[in-house]
Amino acid sequence: MCSRVLLVLLSILAGAPSLAACSRVLRVPFEDWPPYAFLASGRQPAGMEVEMLTAVAREAGCPVKFVFDIPRKRRGLMLRQGELDLLLAASDTAERRQYAWFTRPYRNEDVAAFTLRGNHSASRLTSLVMALQGRYGLIAPSDGWYGATFDGLVREFAAAGLLTRYESYAQAMRMLGGDRGQVLIGDRFALLDAARQNDIKLLSLPFNVNHDPVHFMLSRRSLQESDLAALNRAIVRLERRGTLSDIRARYLDSLTSSR
C-alpha cells in the first residue's frame, strides 16, 4: 500500500475450545469515530464498535487486527479485492452482496437531523421535505447509505444548491456553527459526541432520517462461509447473555440523557 499501514493486534484466540476459529486473522480498517472508535492511551483502539467486535470475535474464536491509515473511499474496494476482511457498521444492500457477506445485525443505526439550539425557524421543521421546500441548507455526510428515500432527497438538495458535505464530525460542527447550512444530518450519537466535544448546542429535530440495523460486512474473496457462521453464532450468544446490550448502554445512555 502507498500509505503507511500500522497493524495492531486487538485480540488473540480466546474462544471456548469447542468453537472453530476463523480461517484467518480478520483485518479491519480503523477510523477515528467517537464514541464508536477512537484511540485510547498507548494508541490502543477503543470505543463501542471496537468493544463489540472484540467481544464477538473472541466468542467466535477469531483473532482481529486493526489496520490504520486506510482512506475511507478505498475500504470498499479493498474488501472486494480481499485486502481487508471485515468492515464495521455496514448496511446490507443488494450491490454489496455481490462481493460481501453480512452477519446478523448487532445494533441499530439512528441517522438523525439537528439544528443549532436557538434557531427558531429551523426548529419548526418536521421533515427533510419541509426543509427542502423552505430552502434550508443541508449539511450531510460525504458517503454512506441511509436509504433510497434519503438518497433521492439529497440529490434534490444538491440540484437546488442547498447541499454541503462533510468528511468528519468535527468539520460538521464547524459547518453548522459557520452557517454553511441550517440542518445537519448524520449518526445521532456521533454528532452528539462531537457537539459535546466542541461545546456546540444542538437541537434534535422531531423526525428520523433513517433507522436501520447494521452488520459486520465480510469479504467473499478472503473469508469463508464458516467464518460468517461462527460470527453469527457468537452474536446470538452474546445478545442472549446481554453482553452486547451492556456495551451499547455504557456508551450511548449518557449521550441520550444529555440531549
Q: What is the pLDDT of residues 108-141, one digit of tens each?
A: 999 999 999 999 999 999 999 999 999 999 999 9
- Say yes or no: 26 and 50 in one domain: yes
pLDDT tops 50 at residue 19: no
Residues 6+ apart with CB under 8 A from 101: 217, 218, 220, 223, 225, 228
Query: Does 2 fall in a domain?
Result: no
What are the start-end ranges of the E strands in 17-84?
26-29, 38-39, 45-46, 64-67
Residue whose C-alpha is closest to residue 219's, from 81, 95, 72, 69: 81
CATH classification of the domain holding 235: 3.40.190.10
SS3 content of the chain, % helix, strand, coil (to 5): 40, 25, 35
Residue 180 belongs to what domain range?
110-211
Query: 159 or 254, which is more confident?
Result: 159
Query: Does 235 fall in a domain?
Result: yes
- Say yes or no: 202 and 179 in one domain: yes
pTM of the model: 0.85
For the chain, the average pLDDT equals 90
Say which range, 66-75, 144-153, 184-193, has the weakest mean pLDDT. Answer: 144-153
Provide the pLDDT confidence category of residue 10 given band limits of 50, 70 and 90.
Answer: very low
Residues 6+ apart with CB under 8 A from 159: none
Query: Does 76 fall in a domain?
Result: yes
In this predicted model, what pLDDT tens digit does every residue of 133-177 receive, in sequence order? Answer: 999 999 999 887 777 788 899 999 999 999 999 999 999 999 999
List the Cα angle 236/237/243 in 5-degree steps.
105
The pLDDT score that the predictor gives to residue 259 is: 54
Count: domains in the chain: 2
Longest Cα separation, the chain: 61
Q: Are 164 and 177 in contact (CB under 8 A)?
A: no
In this predicted model, what pLDDT tens digit does every residue of 83-102 receive, in sequence order? Answer: 999 999 999 999 999 999 99
Residue whose C-alpha is closest to residue 210's, from 146, 114, 139: 146
Strands 64-67 and 7-11: antiparallel
The pLDDT score that the predictor gives to residue 256 is: 73
- Say yes or no: 185 and 207 in one domain: yes
- Say yes or no: 97 and 139 in one domain: no
The pLDDT score that the predictor gives to residue 18 is: 38
- Say yes or no: 233 and 114 in one domain: no
Q: Are 21 and 225 in contact (CB under 8 A)?
A: no
The pLDDT score that the predictor gives to residue 258 is: 53
The pLDDT score that the predictor gives to residue 137 is: 98
Give the C-alpha separation, 56 to 106, whole Å.
Answer: 10
- Say yes or no: 87 and 43 in one domain: yes
Element housing 236 (H / E): helix 225-241
The cell for 66 is 486493526
> DSSP letter string over 99-137?
TEEE----EEEEEEEEEETT-TTGGG--SHHHHHHTT--
pLDDT tops 70 at residue 73: yes
Query: Does 222 fall in a domain?
Result: yes
- Say yes or no: 168 and 98 in one domain: no
Query: Does 122 fall in a domain?
Result: yes
Give the C-alpha separation, 89 to 87, whole Å.
Answer: 7
Query: Does 244 fall in a domain?
Result: yes
